[in-house]
Amino acid sequence: MARKKKGEAETFPEKKEEKESSRSGVLDHDVKRSIAAIFLFSLGALFTLGFFENAGMLGNFFDTLSRRMLG
């Protein structure tokens, strides 16, 4: 084996991937984005049903809130 130069660090691809995944958090970015999309779609459905007074008590609250915010 040849000698290593000063300043060159030995990097292994497996260990580098482990460090990156541990830094980014528990969930992958695609999973986070999918969860946010489902949440926003559900919220939009509640606002829409609340506008037509078919979403129950929570929908009426969202309807009142949106009417006060938007006029």
- pTM of this prediction exceeds 0.75: no
Based on the structure, what is the number of domains in the chain? 1
The pLDDT profile of the chain, 71 residues, written as one tens digit per residue, is: 677 777 666 665 555 555 555 555 788 999 999 999 999 999 999 888 888 888 888 888 888 888 899 88
Residue 24 in domain: no
CA 40 to chain centre: 11
Write phi, then psi, for 10 (nearest 5 degrees): -80, 125
Write phi, then psi, for 53 (nearest 5 degrees): 55, 45
Residue 61 in domain: yes
Could you list the residue range(s) of the whole structural domain that residue 54 is in? Answer: 39-71
Residue 11 has what pLDDT? 60
Residue 71 in domain: yes
Residue 15 has what pLDDT? 56
Residue 37 has what pLDDT? 98
